[in-house]
Amino acid sequence: MAKKKKSRKSKHKAPVLLIGWGREGVKDVAYACEEFPFDRGLDCIDAQGASNDDVLRAIENWLEANPNAQFLYIGCHGDEDGLSPIVGADRLTQLITWPALGKVLSKARARITVWLGACSSSFAATNWNSNANLLVNPIVGFSEDTNTKELKQVLKELIKRTGVETQELSGKVGDLGLLDEDLAELQQRYDKITMHYRVPGHGYVDCANFKNAVGVELPEYLDEQCDKKQVRRLCADVKRGLAVIDERDLLPPKEPSPDPNRQELTLRKLKPVNQRRKKRR
């Protein structure tokens, strides 16, 4: 009798992690799976019924040995205390405090963008301003009056702009196509989006009042930072003999073609620790 071949799994962790915690959050992540069914760049988790420790552990596992971690979405409720799958007084029993989430995110190897579904980013920004080890930038959220349809629309466009649809099935996933300029443009288009960008000497700045705090508009600031980084890197490489200026470098890169053998994306259930232990017995 022939043995059924096991499907080959990628050795590399996804650059995008979507976690639905609570009923509405799970619906948002399930919607993303339906819209991007063949996308190896996404890891979608249904955390309904999971504890706060389970959710933090899932984020920590994603960051662990994953230098390619770039984008985290958490769909749940939020307030000045932190994140929870429910509202009301009982939320404190399942609360992920901002300091606790910041501590886990401090383990990121490189900068990541954090999106908080149905939660103003101002709460996280206020609590994380003092965390110098945090490589989260920017922090994006939604105003309290954002409805489910609006959130899904923004989430769909956000994922599409990352370019994960064009990632190869095997091999390391490269930097995603989502740029800070894209986020700034999305915020201007959708007034329900709130965004805080970290600026040296200023902490997390509300992008709605960016010019008043920094002196220039956000797009202008991003252009300046991009130009400075590119010039410094190129000058250093040329000086060390590691690079030469070639006009071909100025041509736009070719977009990779989708792999026809890529596997279908599924919404995986995050099982609480106590349930996993029962099965082992």
Residue 144 lies in a domain: yes
In this predicted structure, what is the pLDDT of residue 227? 61
| Sign (positive or negative) of CA dihedral 155, 159, 162, 163 | negative
Q: How far is CA 115 from CA 18, 124, 139, 159, 226, in A?
A: 9, 11, 6, 11, 23
Instruction: Give 154's pLDDT tier (boundaries 50, 70, 90).
Output: confident
Average pLDDT over every residue of 8-34: 82
Residue 155 lies in a domain: yes
- Do 82 and 97 meet the contact criterion of CB atoms below 8 Å apart? yes
**H or E, element range at 199:** strand 193-199
Residue 8 lies in a domain: no
Percent of the chain at pLDDT above 70? Answer: 70
Average pLDDT over every residue of 51-65: 94
Of 68-72, 74-78, 176-180, 265-269, the range with the lowest mean pLDDT is 176-180
Instruction: Give 6's pLDDT tier (boundaries 50, 70, 90).
Output: very low
Domain that holds residue 266: 16-210+256-274
Half-sphere CA count of 16, side-chain side, radius 13 A: 28
Residue 108 lies in a domain: yes
CATH number for the domain spanning 130: value is 3.40.50
The strand pairing partners of 203, in sequence order, are 199
Helix ranges (H only) for the chain are 23-35, 52-63, 98-105, 121-128, 148-162, 180-189, 210-214, 218-239, 273-280
In this predicted structure, what is the pLDDT of residue 61? 94
In this predicted structure, what is the pLDDT of residue 8? 38
The pLDDT tens digits of the residues spanning 242-264 come to: 554 444 444 444 555 555 555 66
Cα of first residue to Cα of last residue in the chain, in angstroms, is: 32
pLDDT higher than threshold 70 for residue 4: no
The radius of gyration of the chain's CA atoms, rounded to the nearest angstrom, is 20
In this predicted structure, what is the pLDDT of residue 144? 74
pLDDT higher than threshold 80 for residue 26: yes
CA 260 to chain centroid? 26
Residue 148 lies in a domain: yes
Our count of domains for the chain comes to 1
Residue 279 lies in a domain: no
State which amino acid sits at residue 213: A
Residue 260 lies in a domain: yes
Residue 243 lies in a domain: no
